[in-house]
């Protein structure tokens, strides 16, 4: 069956500006570049008009669909969960894709095949990091989406394994499609850009960078605790939102150990500043206890900065066999690996070169082709 139009749950594409939103916008952009002849139906309960979403609004291939009627603002969530399904065939959709772990709960009545992208099941592995009510909601929605979907996209082998383990979804129903990172990280960063961003954020010393929500699971404390074992001019720059006061906990530790001047917390910074921030760092740190994939790992390597990752989830899958991987509770191991990188330009060059070879598999082309292959599998299965 020929694909003419693909419908999407575009809520995150329009209303989220971190991981799920970035993934949603990237998929839409890559599909349009690869299949400009298709039509794209973007279903969203809310429609902010701010810079990151302007391209979606201006693209002539996109049709944005919002809830009908004067009560739309109040009924948006219900419409997204139950009301979208009845529109799909009338809107000409060949297929529906839930980009962020969910599908309408009555998607089986839509009359078209469906695909859902599952990003991670961290709430199942580490329930202590989530509120009980959130865990129950996520578990119900994610499980139902995986069960109802014609096909499931997992963003890593780790996530594929978790979907099989926790939801008993057969492996042949799941496709692993790596997402890659934004194209801005592929472009060379000029030295003047690095100098400007350092001036902007007051970074006058060599620094280790850690990008991502500052929270207990991501374990930024490990890097802070390693600082006393590193040269005194090495600073730590953490870029991300402070979740549940974890950044405050890190800064209390810093104050108690004479490290306050060496740790910088940056939040709400423009996305365009990320490449020079990475490129200006001596190394990147991502010792998270568990991730579905770990886009900051690819961003760092793409920008030319080696990264140390935590063992035990997908981060080694993302970074490749040559990237240093450490026990998430071993401060001495982290400090030792960091010191090796700090003291050796040759090692830094080697790690970046090998890392870039590894992350070539996460190209935008491979991402787009993988998604399109999944669409055709879903359509063939549904028709069969």
| Cα–Cα dist 260/257, whole Å | 8
pLDDT in tens, 260-314: 999 999 999 998 999 999 999 999 999 999 998 889 999 999 999 999 999 988 8
pLDDT of 320-360, one tens digit each? 999 999 999 999 999 999 999 999 999 999 999 999 999 99
pLDDT of residue 29: 93
146-156 mean pLDDT = 97
For the stretch 18-36, pLDDT in tens is: 889 989 999 999 999 999 9
Judge whether 331 and 226 are in contact, CB under 8 Å. Answer: yes
> Do residues 224 and 263 lie in contact, with contact meaning Cβ atoms separated by under 8 Å?
yes
Buried b (16+ CB within 10 A) or exposed e, 62-88: bebbbbeeeeeeebbeebbbebbbebb
What burial class does residue 229 get, using C-beta atoms within 10 Å of its C-beta: 0-12 exposed, 13-18 middle, 19+ buried?
middle
Three-state DSSP state, 18: coil
pLDDT at residue 297 in the model: 96
pLDDT given at position 70? 66
pLDDT band of residue 366 (cuts 50, 70, 90) is: very high
Digit-coded pLDDT (tens) for 44-76: 998 876 777 888 888 999 999 998 876 666 678
pLDDT given at position 162: 96
- What are the structural domains of the chain? 5-180+363-383 (3.40.50.2000), 183-361 (3.40.50.2000)
Question: Average pLDDT over the chain, rounded to whole?
Answer: 94
67 backbone dihedrals φ, ψ, rounded to 5°: -60, 145
């Amino acid at each position: 069956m020929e694909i003419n139009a693909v419908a999407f749950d575009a809520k995150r594409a329009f209303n989220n500006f971190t991981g799920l939103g970035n993934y949603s916008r990237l998929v839409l952009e890559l599909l349009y570049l690869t299949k400009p002849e298709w039509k794209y139906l973007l279903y969203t309960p809310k429609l902010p008009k701010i810079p990151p979403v302007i391209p979606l609004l201006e693209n002539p291939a996109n049709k944005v669909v919002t809830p009908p009627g004067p009560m739309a603002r109040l009924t948006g969530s219900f419409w997204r969960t139950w009301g979208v399904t009845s529109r799909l065939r009338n809107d000409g959709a060949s297929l529906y894709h839930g980009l962020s772990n969910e599908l309408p709960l009555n998607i089986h009545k839509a009359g078209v095949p469906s695909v859902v992208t599952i990003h991670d099941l961290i709430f199942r592995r580490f329930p202590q990091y989530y509120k009980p009510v959130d865990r129950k909601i996520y578990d119900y929605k994610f499980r139902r989406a995986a069960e109802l979907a014609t096909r499931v996209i997992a963003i890593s082998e780790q996530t594929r394994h978790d979907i099989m383990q926790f939801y008993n979804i057969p492996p042949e129903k799941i496709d692993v499609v790596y997402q890659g990172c934004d194209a801005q990280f592929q472009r060379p960063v000029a030295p003047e850009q690095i100098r400007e961003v350092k001036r902007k954020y007051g970074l006058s010393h060599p620094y280790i960078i850690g990008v991502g929500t500052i929270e207990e699971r991501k374990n930024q404390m490990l890097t802070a605790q390693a600082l006393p074992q590193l040269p005194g001019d090495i600073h730590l720059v953490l870029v991300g939102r402070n979740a549940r006061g974890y950044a405050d906990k890190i800064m209390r530790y810093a104050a108690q150990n004479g490290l306050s001047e060496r740790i910088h917390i940056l939040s709400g910074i423009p996305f365009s500043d990320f490449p020079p921030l990475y490129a200006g760092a001596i190394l990147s740190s991502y010792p998270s206890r568990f991730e579905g994939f770990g886009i900051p790992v690819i961003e760092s390597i793409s920008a030319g900065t080696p990264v140390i990752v935590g063992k035990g989830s997908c981060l080694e899958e993302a970074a490749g066999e040559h990237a240093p991987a450490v026990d998430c509770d071993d401060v001495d191991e982290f400090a030792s690996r960091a010191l090796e990188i700090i003291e050796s330009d040759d090692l830094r060059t080697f790690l970046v070169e090998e890392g870039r070879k590894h992350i070539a598999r996460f190209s935008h082309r491979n991402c787009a082709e993988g998604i399109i292959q999944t669409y055709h599998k879903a359509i063939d299965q549904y028709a069969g």
